[in-house]
A = this chain, B = another copy of it.
Amino acid sequence: MSKPRFPALSLFVAATAGRNMTRPAYVAVAVGVGTMVLLTLDPAYEAAHRWVDAVMFACLAFFVFEWVVRLRHAIHSQRGLAYSFTFRGLVDLAGAATVPVAFAAGAGPQSAWLFGVLWLLKLVPGIPGLRQLRRVVVLESGPLFSVLVIFLMVVFLASVAEHFLERDIQPQTFGSVPAALWWAVVTLTTTGYGDVVPVTPLGRMVAALVMISGLGVFGLWTGIMATGFAAETRRDNFLKTWESVSKVPFFAALGPAAIADVTNMLRTMDLPPRTMIIRKGQQGDCMYFIAAGEVEVDLPGGKKVALGEGAFFGEMALLGNATRNADITTTGVTRLLVLDLVDFRLLMARHPELGQTIDAEAKRRALENK
């Protein structure tokens, strides 16, 4: 299982050691977990005993191999210990080691292979938007924690009350507080299995209060999440605008204060599809950044060029050349960020270094177009 013996495979894994997930790893996770699920179906397992075992061992071998290669790679680049204690390192270790350890501890195949479900955790770093969700949860952790504490308090108070009210009539289900706690969680989350149900009038009144509290907890929880999510989205949009702006050649040299200034001066403009933004020969007085959607530039030679998210156009208007030299049309619903000449001049007044950059750029473009 060492490097020299399987040079091709090792090369492949090494090449992708820096990435979160390789395509074969996705396949191995899917096949491994799927087979693990089948394995617990007694008739299926008995019928295809050998095949199932073979597939599971192949998946395990892949993950052990992946872990070994990644560890070697990390040690070679002198961050072996760092890797071992990252989330990814621990998940790789768990994926490689738990099943063999379980077998070594004497567990049967139907128990040991269950740890294969941990392979799913390898997908976590690859979930898109997870970072955003985590930020929301972190930002709103204060109020979310409050709601959790309130939730637990209601659960405890309700279960003690129900235990007191129902223990003589239903000793089986409300005979102890832990048993009543089960009822309280099932009720407050509005899951309501119905395996444990109060029957005395007073017990039912307490239960009704718990259910209505459940609605309240839901409401608070989602209200907090919605607020956090809205704030995060706004922040994300600002950072994205910032990024588009700082990609424009003659803003790149400016400091963050000026870039923030530009970002705040941009007007958002949502356009319906097939709207002409710039007409050739018109006098222009603004430049545009594409925040979402796509526009089509109708170049003089009849050629059409599509510009997508993050691109910008019409910047020549800010450099003194006000006549537009191409038709530009939206292809779908498009969100543009507009920087007006007036605002741009205000900006130059505030940040004189911008003026010099622009003079240089204007000269360069003038030479280019000659």
Contact = CB atoms under 8 A, between A and B. Distances in A.
Interface stretch (A11-19, A227-235, A301-309): A227-235
A68 interface: no
Interface string A338-351: 10101000000010
A198 to B, nearest CB: 9
A3 B128 CA distance: 53
A223 B235 CA distance: 16
Interface string A134-160: 001000001101110111010011001
A215 B29 CA distance: 27
A160 B37 CA distance: 9
B201 A189 contact: no
Given A195-B197, A230-B226, A146 B129 contact: yes
A214 B227 CA distance: 19
Contacts of A227: 223, 226, 229-230, 233
A224 B279 CA distance: 39
Interface size class of A (residues with CB under 8 A): 35 or more
B136 A150 contact: no
A238 interface: yes
Given A142-B129, A226-B229, A189 B212 contact: yes
Main secondary structure of the interface of A (DSSP, over half): helix
Q: A224, A267, A275 — which one has the most chain B CB atoms within 10 A of its CB?
A: A224
Contact of A238 (B40, B42, B182, B270): B270
B257 A338 contact: yes
Contacts of A41: 176-178
Contacts of A216: 221
A61 to B, nearest CB: 21
Given A40-B178, A129-B143, A133-B220, A190 B193 contact: no
Contact of A217 (B186, B193, B215, B338): B215
A256 interface: yes
A212 B276 CA distance: 42
Given A143-B229, A260-B269, 19 more contacts: A117-B157, A120-B156, A128-B142, A129-B145, A132-B142, A132-B146, A133-B146, A182-B208, A185-B212, A187-B191, A191-B211, A218-B222, A222-B222, A223-B225, A223-B226, A226-B229, A227-B230, A255-B279, A256-B276
